[in-house]
Each structure stands twice: as C-alpha cells, then as structure tokens.
Amino acid sequence: MRNQAFAFIKPHAMKSQAVATYIGDVFEDGDVHVPFKKTFTSSEMDSRGLIDRHFASVSRASLIDDVSKLEVSDSGKEIFKDAFNEAWDDAIAAGKVVNSTEARVRLEGMSPRKLCSEWAAHGATELDQDIYVSYFHENDLYVLNGFYLATRHEYVAEGASVAVMLLDFEMDWREFHEAIVGYENPAAALEESIRGYLYDRAGVLEMVIDPIDNIIHVSESPFAALCEKMIWLKKAQWSSDPLLVKLVENSGKTPSVVAKWIASKYCDEALHALCEDKDTETVAELLSEMLLG
C-alpha cells in the first residue's frame, strides 16, 4: 500500500540551494515521488500560527497565558516538590511560575536564544510529558519550556522560510526513515541517508547540523503525517491521504468525522509512539480499532 509522508526543509537548510538540490536528487533516485511542494515564508507561518500548532505539545506550556490552567499531574507536582522544595500550587499562587514570554519580560528582555541557553544552564526538570521547568534562583522564577521560543524564532524570523513537501513511496516506512532520510541525530544516521551525508559535509557547507538543526523534518508515521497535513495544508491536499481513506473505509464513518478524531489525537505522544515507523495499512488497523472503540 502506498505511504505518504509530510516533510519540510528547515529554515537553516533553506539558505543553501545546494542542500535543496541534493535532497531533491535523493528523493528522485530513491523512487520517492513529490506530488506537492510549497514554500512558506516566515510571515505566513507566524500569521497562521503554523509553528505553534506544529509543535503544539511543547508550545502550549511555553506560551500558555494563564499558567494556573496548565494541567500538571499529581506525580508531576511531586517531582516539582522534590526538585525545588516548594509546592507547585504555592509557586503558582505566588506568581513565580511563568511562561517563556513572561520570562523574557521579567529577565529584562532576554532574547529567545539567550533565554534558551540560560534556561538549559539552570537545569531543566521534566514534570510531565513535554512540560519542563527550570528554576532561575537569582530571580526566584520558574520558567516553563524556555527552549521553545528559540525554536520558534528560527521559523518566524524575518527572511526565514520552509519548503513543505508531500512524499509518496512504496517502501517500508522504517526503510524510508533510516535509509533515505536518516535518524533524527545526524551523527548516528546512515552515511548514505540525507542527514548522514550532509552531516559528514557540514564543514564544507559551513552549516551547523545537529539533532535540532537536522536539515529536514519528516513525519514519523502515517498518523503524524495526516495530523501535520491538516495543520499546514488546505483540505484539497490532505483529503485523499491514504491513511484517511483507509480509516473511512474501515470504520464506515465520514471523512470529516475521522479527520476530527485524528486532530483530537495530535498531542497523544503514546499514540505517536505506537504508530512510529509503521506502514499505512498497519496504522490503519490500529487506529480503526480505536476509532470504532
């Protein structure tokens, strides 16, 4: 059965025409068809909230307006108490827990990149899935997901852009991930993969290539691909998604009902892990059981 991934060349890689050309050549040589491609500018990504929606699981804690409404589990609150010798609810009531935007204000306009480095240097503690906090002891301030604004800035800064693509292929998803794209950590990627090949030539390209700036984002599964298409693309580009079509066929539900259910599961990391590197037919079977529940 046909697989279709969602992908985009990241902003730092978009600065090199040689990199973009190489990626296109690899897809062509690897029998990966590109039926759709579009460049999104920084202003478009910012105005449509694409980056915050794409990175929803980590952006929420970083940008949430009212931190008291952030859902932290009892175990997460216990982790907070053990790490900082202060109760989560007490810190919230005292106004000491802040999102990343408020942190920049209280830290005298610290840049996103500086906040990220300082936040990391203070030692982040994971409370719950995708909720991390660092304590700035000199300011008596707990900062949530202070790394995210630096990530976001790479996409919405003036002049930034990404090249979004749909990728059709018949090979196994895992083979596509490992042999064509390469592992997320380029240093561990196969030499002949996109990430592995470019990592070995980072010096010549005068680029930083690491697990964050790793050239290209590619969805980890057919489930992730459909979720991401629904964020980035118009309905005409995702209504014929192979997983969506199969789920409609298996469940007997309408495409709109299935799409709404898929969107509601986007931040379910356990479900993403379950579907990772599995082919469309296998994922369709897994999700059909859940959908029919």
pLDDT one-digit tens code per residue, 201-257 = 999 999 999 998 999 999 999 999 999 999 999 999 999 999 999 999 999 999 999
What pLDDT sits at residue 76?
Answer: 97
CB of 107 closer than 8 Å to CB of 93: no
Average pLDDT of the segment spanning 275-289: 96
Query: Cα separations (Å) of 116 from 80, 112, 141?
Result: 20, 6, 15
Gap between the Cα atoms of 272 and 266, Å rounded: 8
Gap between the Cα atoms of 290 and 253, Å rounded: 13
What pLDDT sits at residue 293?
Answer: 76
What pLDDT sits at residue 252?
Answer: 94
* 8-state DSSP, 186: G
Nearest to 156 by CA among 112, 217, 118, 115: 112
Q: What are phi and psi of 161, to 5 degrees?
A: -160, 165
Name the band, by pLDDT with cuts 50, 70 and 90, for residue 105. Answer: very high
Given a cut of 90, whether residue 95 has pLDDT beyond it is yes
Helices (H), 69-129: 74-84, 88-93, 100-106, 112-121
Given a cut of 70, whether residue 157 has pLDDT beyond it is yes
Average pLDDT of the segment spanning 257-268: 96
Nearest to 181 by CA among 13, 59, 41: 13
Gap between the Cα atoms of 244 and 84, Å rounded: 45
For all residues of the chain together, what is the average pLDDT? 96
What pLDDT sits at residue 109?
Answer: 84
Gap between the Cα atoms of 134 and 275, Å rounded: 31
Name the band, by pLDDT with cuts 50, 70 and 90, for residue 292. Answer: confident
Spell out the residues 6+ positions from residue 50 whose beta carbon is closer than 8 angstroms to its own. 40, 44, 155, 231, 232
CB of 276 closer than 8 Å to CB of 174: no
Gap between the Cα atoms of 74 and 88, Å rounded: 10
* β-sheet bridge partners, residue 163: 9, 39
Residues of the chain with CATH 3.30.70.141: 1-60+155-218
Name the band, by pLDDT with cuts 50, 70 and 90, for residue 1. Answer: low
In the numeric block, which tokens belong to residue 149? 């604004």
Q: Which CATH number fits domain 1-60+155-218: 3.40.190.10, 3.30.70.141, 3.20.19.10, 3.40.50.300?
A: 3.30.70.141
